[in-house]
Structure 1
Amino acid sequence: MNSSLMTSLLWFVAILAMIPAALWLLKRTPVGGAGSSALMKNIAVLPLSANQRIVTVEVGAGESRQWLVLGVTPASITTLHTMAPVDGAVPPAAPGGPAFAGLLAKFHKPAGGPDAR
């Protein structure tokens, strides 16, 4: 094989390998959004319709933390209420999570149960 062809092929493979590495690194730096969770955190989302929802967001850090209850529509975002964070509050699971798990449990039958054949 020609030396210049082999060099070009190696550079091509090196550049292809650097693309996923650069994306992985970008995702874990503040530039890629990894550091933004310290100042703002999504607490809960309540969908009202296809275009409207109520969102609770925690903003700030330390003693200056606040929860904002926001009304979100395609045209605007409106602050509905501002409150102090509830101590020990755990954000609820993703919408549809527990209900789907309960529905799945109804239809799941154990392998050694009375219905096994």
Structure 2
Amino acid sequence: MLQNLTPVLVLLAVLVGIAFALKWARRRLPGAAGHSGPPMQLLSQLSLGPQQRVVTMQIGQGEDRVCLVLGVSPGSVNTLHQMKMPADLPESPIATPASGFAARLAQLTQPPKPHA
């Protein structure tokens, strides 16, 4: 009986080893685990309740940058607003406590200043 069980245990051990090797490779190899879409960056987030947030994200690079305002809840992510990023903003803005969601949204929705 034990002789019939040994090949099954060896096969099981090999399969578990392959699963761990694939898991390791997925985390280590570039591009294997990440998303293959446009670059994304979290700009800011505002908590509305224990499980609800409003999040602003920058999607894309260069002239194709878009700012998304997302409503995030446990069961869904909804696009609340989408706007093209102004060209005069830096390529990768960083949100700080002094420039939270309200300040960032006000900055993006202000009309452009006339040039002198």
The TM-score by the shorter chain falls in which range?
Answer: 0.5 to 0.7
Quote how far apart the aligned CAs of 1:12 are. 0.9
TM-score by length of 2: 0.52
The 8 Å contact of residues 43 and 91 in structure 1, kept in 2 or not, is answered as yes
Letter aligned with residue 89 of structure 1: P
List runs of 5+ in structure 1 lacking aligned partners. Answer: 94-117
**Corresponding residue for 2:6?**
6
C-alpha contact 2:66 2:82 (8 A) present in aligned 1:
no
Counterparts of 1:9 and 1:37, CA distance in 2: 41
Q: Which residue of 2 aligns with 1:96?
A: none
Q: CA deviation at 1:77?
A: 3.2
1:78 equivalent in alignment to 2:77: no
Structure 2: state its 5+ residue gaps.
98-116
CA distance in 2, matches of 1:61, 1:83: 10
- The alpha-carbon deviation at position 39 of structure 1 amounts to 2.9
**Secondary structure of 2:15's partner?**
helix
Please name the residue that 2:100 is paired with.
Answer: none
Overall identity of the aligned pairs, in %: 21
Secondary structure of residue in 2 paired with 1:23: helix
- The two structures, once aligned, show a CA RMSD in angstroms of 3.6
1:15 deviates by 0.8
Higher relative contact order (CA 8 A, sep 6+): 2
Distance 1:54 1:82 in 2: 18
Task: State which structure, 1 or 2, has the greater radius of gyration over its C-alpha atoms.
Answer: 1
